[in-house]
Amino acid sequence: MITETHGLTDEQSKFAELVRDFADQVVSPAAYRFDTEGRLPVEIVHQMGELGLFGLPFPEEVGGQGGDYVTLCLAVEALARVDQSIAVTLEAGVGLGIMPIYRHGTDAQREQWLPDLVAGRTLAAFGLTEAGAGSDAAATRTTARLEPGEGGAWVIDGSKQFITNSGTPITSVVTVVAVTGSATGPDGSAAPELSAILVPAGTPGFVVGPSYDKVGWHASDTHPLMLNGVRVPAANLLGERGRGYANALHVLDEGRIAFAALATGAAQGCLEEALRYAGERTVFGASIGSHQHVAFTLARMQARVHAARTSWFDAAQKLVHGLPSKAEASVAKLVASEAAMANARDATQIFGGYGFMNETPVARHYRDSKVLEIGEGTSEVQLMIIARDLGLTA
């Protein structure tokens, strides 16, 4: 098989192997049980925190590991091989939960929230998507008004949907994007002013709805949120007023790289399982892997993994070196999510009837992988971004 190092440091290679061992020894044996129970295993999340996974890309002065985004992506990929639910808990917990507070928070906000978040003792969530607003953030209907006078609070009303890590027993805070006024768009027309506000879990009027009955990612925590007259201090504004969506786009661009690493891990997991089964399963006196059609299918699966990993690594390297990476992130997300879906389909076919049984990893990957083409920007959104980078109107 192709051995890929992508110029990793010895430290990064050893760390990736450490997380891979953790995934095989701790996460994988429990994956089917928690998938069946539809419950995020908080105990495993805490173990991930003890390994330093949630603090990977953050400096030591805020309790982090002093690593970079490449190292985070290596950890996400290693986990996704065996359990996408656990991998997305880390990916969203860092990229959507911690990163906005680290990048845009005040010193007081960072001191309040970061120590427990980067240690994996608590989780944070990012509330952007609504029933009628996801890719089109201008359609956001959640509002926040600032009460006049000294000591005035933000009063938030609205709802959010499909919010990861929003209702766990250890969720501490949710960043909510809301309309805080009106602004002038690039063409001179009126546009909503969008701002981000920190809403602590348990705030009166902040209601976490029942967990979704999802096709996949059963052990990942996902809920709708309702905000009914939620009052939080004016100091809970995260970043500049009116910069909520711009800052969110920055977060999403970065997040797509880690999401691509997650999809690559899923594609790799499908390949490993299918390769193992093809060597064990015999028909007509020979292993099915000895048949050209199965061998060629596995070869295509390997090619997809290689392309996906090369794509996310290229985007991540550009990001950590301060180079433009928006289009590269979209390419990585598009290529890797398609690779995960295709490899899940092929692996299930190689497994035959066993591939239709939920206790097999390939069956879970088959269910889990579809959302990779939807979450953190659909494939259509990625194509739009790539087309615009080519100078096309899309």
What would the pLDDT profile of 97-149 be if each residue is shown by its tens digit? 999 999 999 999 999 999 999 999 999 999 999 998 877 777 899 999 999 87
- Residue 374 resides in a domain: yes
Q: Which of 85, 107, 123 is the last residue of a domain?
A: 123
| One domain, residues 284 and 383 | yes
What would the pLDDT profile of 208-258 be if each residue is shown by its tens digit? 999 999 999 999 999 999 999 999 999 999 999 999 988 888 888 899 999
pLDDT at 2 over 70: no
Q: Are 237 and 194 within 8 A, CB to CB? A: no
| One-letter identity of residue 294 | V
- Residue 1 resides in a domain: no
| One domain, residues 282 and 385 | yes
Residue 88 sits in a domain whose CATH number is 1.10.540.10
- Residue 260 resides in a domain: yes
Q: Which residue has the higher pLDDT, 189 or 345?
A: 345
| One domain, residues 287 and 199 | no
| One domain, residues 265 and 343 | yes
| One-letter identity of residue 189 | S
Catalytic residue (choose from 273, 328, 338, 376): 376
Q: Are 101 and 63 within 8 A, CB to CB? A: no
Per-residue tokens: 327? 């289009």
Give residue for tokens 């991930």: 48
Q: Among residues 265, 307, 219, 232, which one has the least CA distance to residue 43?
A: 219
Q: State mean pLDDT over 7-20.
A: 92
| One domain, residues 117 and 129 | no
Residue 291 sits in a domain whose CATH number is 1.20.140.10
CB neighbours (10 Å) of residue 129? Answer: 19
What would the pLDDT profile of 187-219 be if each residue is shown by its tens digit? 677 789 999 999 999 999 999 999 999 999 999
Q: Among residues 283, 255, 220, 249, which one has the least CA distance to residue 89?
A: 220
| One domain, residues 232 and 340 | no
Per-residue tokens: 257? 């790289």
What would the pLDDT profile of 257-311 be if each residue is shown by its tens digit? 999 999 999 999 999 999 999 999 999 999 999 999 999 999 999 999 999 999 9
Q: Which of 226, 241, 256 is the last residue of a domain?
A: 241
Give the chain's domain count: 3
Query: Active-site residue 376, yes or no?
Result: yes
| One domain, residues 221 and 265 | no
Domain that holds residue 303: 246-389
Q: Which of 76, 102, 123 is the last residue of a domain?
A: 123
| One domain, residues 223 and 319 | no
| Confidence (pTM) | 0.95
